[in-house]
Amino acid sequence: MPNLDENLVRETIRAYITHELIRDPDYDLTDDEGIITGGLMDSFALADFAVFVEQEFGVYIPDPDLTVEKMDTLNQMVARVMQG
Amino acid sequence: MMLSLTARAEYETLLDAAALREARPDAAAIIFVATDAEPVVVTGAAFQARTQAYAAGLQRAGVTAGDLVIIAHIQNLESIYAFWGALQMGAIPSMFPTLTEKLDPDVYMRNMNALVRRSHVRLIFTSDAFAPVMARTADCPVVGSSELAGLAEDAGVEGFRPHAPHPDDIAFLQHSSGTTGLQKGVALSHRAVLNQLASYARAIELRPDDVIVSWLPLYHDMGLIAGFIQPLVQGIPLVLMSPFDWVRHPALLLRAIHAYQGTLTWLPNFAYNHLARRVRQQDMADIRLDSMRMFINCSEPVRDDSHQLFLHRFADAGVREDMLAVSYAMAENTFAVTQTPSGRPPRRDVVSRRALAEDRIARPVKEDEAATVLVSCGPTIPNTQAKVVDEGGRDLPERRVGEIAIRSDCMLTGYYQRPDLNPFTPDGWYLTGDMGYLADGEVYIVGRKKDLIIHAGKNIYPQDIEAIVNEVAGVHPGRAVAFGAPDEREGTELIVVIAEVDTDAPDQRKAIAKAIRQAVARKSDITVGYVTLVGPKWLIKTSSGKIARAANREKWLRERASRIA
């Protein structure tokens, strides 16, 4: 498992979410806002996120961890990726 | 023994057709699979016992024959027992989307109560989590999971008093979503549902060794009929999962096909993209899909590129082109209107883009001409006819685009308790609102007559979204429009909202855009794909002063195309 830089992971995921999932690059996505519960993206996006994380960071997040409760904020996503 | 066209006369109602399942009491009727739990296998005998107990439980809760029962629960076995239980005691069940954490309960209940009052709902069945929330404002009794399970247990199978319906009694209702959809409950008789099942069995060459795998929501006609009523009546196994679970974990469907040797599944077009793009490589190790007979594309416009993407991605796992199939369906015909035959891929019609758009003719393409590929929906199923009519209701010849009209022996009786609405023309045709054409005996769909959005297989009325956006602070009331824009990546229409605002301040505009997304999600469970804020006078109005959706859609698509270019 390569060492991942947390800030890089955070900004990579933030850019991915605003560009690919919210489709609004100007959106100011904060670290702790509810992305799915706040209606910014639907739960389909969790599966998209899983593919992105596998390709980008080589991290496989098992299905039971891909839930709205566990992956609703940027902080939660970053923390999960950093676990490897 | 199955419910076929040949055997149709032997059955009068859905309840006596259940004998087909009872013939194999020890065989699996339903296998419920989930990401975080072991599969639950319900045998035919267990299903019968559970549903009779639920029927008795509903009777104890005060439900009598002819009462409307709304099941607004998560997709699980209890909601299925309650639906079938209601059917067995002669009540009229209707499946509904559940309240969720994300949705505003007040808005959800306002819609529900409008239905409760209009259609005289006797009882709402929901989860324990939402029962107290809903009971606070509901205009009828609300029963949670534990309460109904308790009543069912107390009553037991012996407490069940069977009901013998007439073939023309209403068996159940199908509702489409949103405030607009809730106003029209599609009422289906036992006779119509059995006619559909018999005809559809012929169309897909249903066999006793078929296995249906489905993630589809049961409040939708495709999920309710193809992925629930059909297998239960025909006595073939149903491998079922929750749509919530599947969208987050798309590989669940493929694992279920592999594990249970699935042969049939129904998918809206977006699901082909979702599966092809969002099942991870690691999830596909050891998964084989060779057992499949048909992946049936249904309930939103079929895109050839989605089929190709799917085929390319899963060819190694055993998916072949001849497994791809298409059905054109609607709740008003119980379910299927057409079906492509099994064993050959759907026809692709390559037509002139210009002739289609300008002359409304699907003319095969000439050399050096821009082309549009349309995928056939196949011929009509037995005992359903389709024709294409112009604005004046006159029949159109082959390859001329007009509105699709259908006539069959499996149509709705009417809209529930809406004698003011007559769904049929004087000679018994139902005008579908879909635009299309006929060619070589097959039906092709090219669009819709009205501004309906089909997002991920779900019908969405733009006026429902616009009403929400108009209430967002900062948006000029009455100066918002919603429409669908096709998206190649997702294989469906994404929802676009354009709203006129006065402010130029970037911070304020960002806050308004955010508020729009949140308001739509909280009040309708719909995720907006694009929010575009514009200045005053951007939106095009009709001569009568209404916002012109189609014209604004064209303008938005044009501006986006020029930005990308």
Which domains, from first to last, does chain B contain? Answer: 8-327 (3.40.50.12780), 347-448 (2.30.38.10), 453-564 (3.30.300.30)
- Residue A25 inside a domain? The answer is yes
* B224/chain A closest Cα distance in angstroms: 22
> Which among B280, B521, B522 is the nearest to A50, CB-wise?
B280
Chain B interface includes A1 (CB < 8 A): no
How many beta-carbon contacts under 8 Å exist across A and B?
74
B475: helix, coil or strand? strand
CA-closest candidate to residue B515, choices A40, A25, A75: A40
Residues 489-508 of B with CB under 8 A from A: 494, 506
* Chain A residues whose beta carbon lies within 8 Å of the beta carbon of residue B244: 43
ipTM, 2 dp: 0.93
Is residue B178 scored above 80 in pLDDT?
Answer: no
Q: Test A47 with B248 for CB contact under 8 angstroms.
A: yes
Chain B interface includes A58 (CB < 8 A): no
Q: Test B277 with A48 for CB contact under 8 angstroms.
A: yes
- pLDDT tens sequence across B406-457: 999 999 999 999 999 999 999 999 999 999 999 999 999 999 888 889 999 8
Q: What percent of chain A has pLDDT over 90?
A: 76
Cross-strand pairs, B385:
B407
d(CA B115, CA A65): 37
Chain A interface includes B37 (CB < 8 A): no
Q: What percent of chain B has pLDDT over 90?
A: 87
- Pull the structure tokens for residue A26: 């100007």
Q: Domain holding A34: CATH number?
A: 1.10.1200.10
What pLDDT is stored for residue B565 in this prediction?
65
Q: Test B518 with A50 for CB contact under 8 angstroms.
A: no
Is residue B543 scored above 90 in pLDDT?
Answer: no
What pLDDT is stored for residue B181 in this prediction?
66
Chain A interface includes B280 (CB < 8 A): yes
CB-CB contact of B124 with B73 (8 Å): no
> Which among A44, A63, A68 is the nearest to B274, CB-wise?
A44
Chain B interface includes A62 (CB < 8 A): no
- pLDDT tens sequence across B347-378: 999 999 999 999 999 999 998 899 999 999 99
* B255/chain A closest Cα distance in angstroms: 12
Confidence of residue B113 (pLDDT cuts 50, 70, 90): very high
Q: Test B247 with A48 for CB contact under 8 angstroms.
A: no
- Residue A74 inside a domain? The answer is yes
User: Counting beta carbons within 10 angstroms of the beta carbon of residue B394, is it exposed (0 to 12), middle (13 to 18) or buried (19 or more)?
Assistant: exposed
- Residue A60 inside a domain? The answer is yes
Q: Test B252 with A63 for CB contact under 8 angstroms.
A: yes
What CA–CA distances, in Å, run from B392 to B361, B384, B396, B405, B444? 17, 22, 11, 13, 21
Confidence of residue B1 (pLDDT cuts 50, 70, 90): confident
What CA–CA distances, in Å, run from B554 to B42, B484, B559? 51, 11, 9
Cross-strand pairs, B500:
B534
d(CA B397, CA B440): 11
- pLDDT tens sequence across B199-227: 999 999 999 999 999 999 999 999 999 99
Chain B interface includes A41 (CB < 8 A): yes
CA-closest candidate to residue B231, choices B246, B216, B253, B249: B216
- Pull the structure tokens for residue B7: 């055997």
- Residue A58 inside a domain? The answer is yes
- Residue A68 inside a domain? The answer is yes
Is residue A18 scored above 60 in pLDDT?
Answer: yes
What pLDDT is stored for residue B179 in this prediction?
65
Q: What percent of chain B has pLDDT over 70?
A: 99
Chain A interface includes B33 (CB < 8 A): no
* DSSP-assigned letter for residue B332: G
* B539/chain A closest Cα distance in angstroms: 21
Q: Test A66 with B249 for CB contact under 8 angstroms.
A: yes
Chain A interface includes B522 (CB < 8 A): yes
Is residue A33 scored above 70 in pLDDT?
Answer: yes
Q: Test A23 with B522 for CB contact under 8 angstroms.
A: no
Best A42, A52, A67 member to test B by mutation, with max B CBs in 10 Å, is A42
- Residue A39 inside a domain? The answer is yes
Is residue B150 scored above 70 in pLDDT?
Answer: yes
* Chain A residues whose beta carbon lies within 8 Å of the beta carbon of residue B280: 50-51, 54, 60
Chain A interface includes B36 (CB < 8 A): yes
> Which among B35, B518, B519 is the nearest to A64, CB-wise?
B35
What pLDDT is stored for residue B61 in this prediction?
96
The alpha-carbon radius of gyration of chain A (Å, integer) is: 12
Q: By residue range, what is the domain housing residue A22?
A: 6-83
Q: Test A47 with B249 for CB contact under 8 angstroms.
A: yes
Chain B interface includes A38 (CB < 8 A): yes
The type of residue at B95 is M
Residue of A nearest to B103 (CA): A37
Residues 89-118 of B with CB under 8 A from A: 101-102
Chain B interface includes A42 (CB < 8 A): yes
Domain count of the fold of chain A: 1
What pLDDT is stored for residue A26 in this prediction?
86
Best A63, A69, A70 member to test B by mutation, with max B CBs in 10 Å, is A63
Q: Test A67 with B248 for CB contact under 8 angstroms.
A: yes
Is residue B77 scored above 60 in pLDDT?
Answer: yes
CB-CB contact of B385 with B404 (8 Å): no
| Range in B125-139, B173-187, B207-221, B527-541 with the lowest mean pLDDT | B173-187
What CA–CA distances, in Å, run from B95 to B166, B425, B474? 22, 28, 37
The runs of H, that is alpha helices, within B189-303 are: 190-203, 221, 230-234, 243-248, 251-260, 269-278
| Range in B99-103, B151-155, B529-533 with the lowest mean pLDDT | B99-103
* Chain A residues whose beta carbon lies within 8 Å of the beta carbon of residue B267: none
* Chain A residues whose beta carbon lies within 8 Å of the beta carbon of residue B277: 48, 51
Q: Test A47 with B252 for CB contact under 8 angstroms.
A: no
CA B489 to chain centre: 21
* A59/chain B closest Cα distance in angstroms: 11
- Residue A1 inside a domain? The answer is no
Q: Test A47 with B274 for CB contact under 8 angstroms.
A: yes
- Residue A10 inside a domain? The answer is yes
